């Protein structure tokens, strides 16, 4: 049985979670201009629908967990994401910090940590045990999501970039540069 409560998301770390000193990620985040979230919503919707259409097996592997709400919290950004991988109506929406959002799972890490994970560059188990990634909520849903992502032939980062059609190569380049910039020592 999973208890789901509305939770206010802030920049405060989860109890017991270590927020690594990722100066590269903070530096990159400072370079981003403020983005009105309403401008992101259509793009995020397009991304989640395209990934769901290209990888129906990804959602099928989630089983009943496809109805769960996954709060994805890149805590060094001014917003967080709510993923609902429902096969009939997949959604990915950005929310401002301070909003009350009901969810079943909360996955939190730096933007770079989350990017490395969806790009297959980092093992989610190692990130969790090193406290670079914090996960709370429905454990069964988290494990199902992890297993579904691990069984993909391509990386999720490649699929996100492919959503941009003729701009997919430059978008993939931005993802790669972000990861490279963040991994450099100051």
Instruction: Look over the chain and give the mean of its residue pLDDT values, rounded to a whole number.
Output: 78
The two structure tokens encoding residue 57: 């097996």
The two structure tokens encoding residue 133: 């990634």
pLDDT in tens, 37-94: 888 899 999 999 998 998 899 899 999 999 999 999 998 888 899 999 999 999 999 9
What mean pLDDT comes out for the span 119-124? 68
The two structure tokens encoding residue 127: 């990130």
- Domains of the chain listed by start with CATH number: 36-183 (3.30.1050.10)
> DSSP letter at 141?
H
Q: What is the pLDDT of residue 18?
A: 36
Stretch among 10-14, 75-79, 125-129 having the lowest mean pLDDT = 10-14
Q: What is the pLDDT of residue 61?
A: 92
Q: What is the pLDDT of residue 1?
A: 40
The two structure tokens encoding residue 137: 């909520």
Q: What is the pLDDT of residue 100?
A: 87
Q: What is the pLDDT of residue 183?
A: 66
Residue 31 pLDDT more than 80?
Answer: no
Stretch among 20-29, 35-44, 114-123, 166-175 having the lowest mean pLDDT = 20-29
pTM attached to this predicted model: 0.75
What mean pLDDT comes out for the span 104-128? 79
What Å distances lie between residue 46 and 24, 32, 184, CA to CA? 29, 21, 32
Residues whose CB is less than 8 angstroms from the CB of residue 171 and which lie 6 or more positions away in sequence, other chains included: 160, 161, 164
Q: Strand pairing partners for 72?
A: 81, 107
């Amino acid at each position: 049985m999973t208890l789901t409560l509305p939770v206010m998301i802030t920049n405060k770390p989860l109890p017991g979670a270590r927020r690594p000193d990722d100066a590269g990620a903070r530096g990159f985040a400072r370079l981003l201009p403020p983005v009105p979230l309403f401008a992101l919503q259509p793009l995020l919707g397009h991304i989640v629908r395209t990934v769901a259409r290209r990888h129906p097996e990804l959602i099928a592997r989630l089983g009943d967990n496809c109805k769960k709400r996954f709060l994805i919290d890149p805590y060094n950004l001014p917003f967080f994401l709510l993923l609902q991988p429902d096969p009939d109506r997949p959604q990915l929406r950005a929310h401002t910090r301070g909003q009350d959002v009901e969810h079943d799972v909360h996955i939190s890490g730096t933007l770079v940590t989350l990017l490395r994970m969806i790009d297959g560059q980092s093992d989610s188990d190692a990130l969790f045990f090193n406290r670079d990634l914090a996960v709370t909520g429905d454990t069964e849903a988290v494990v199902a999501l992890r297993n579904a992502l691990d069984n993909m032939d391509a990386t999720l980062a490649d699929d996100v970039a492919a959503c941009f059609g003729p701009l997919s190569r430059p978008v993939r380049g931005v993802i790669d540069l972000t990861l490279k910039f963040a991994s450099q020592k100051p």
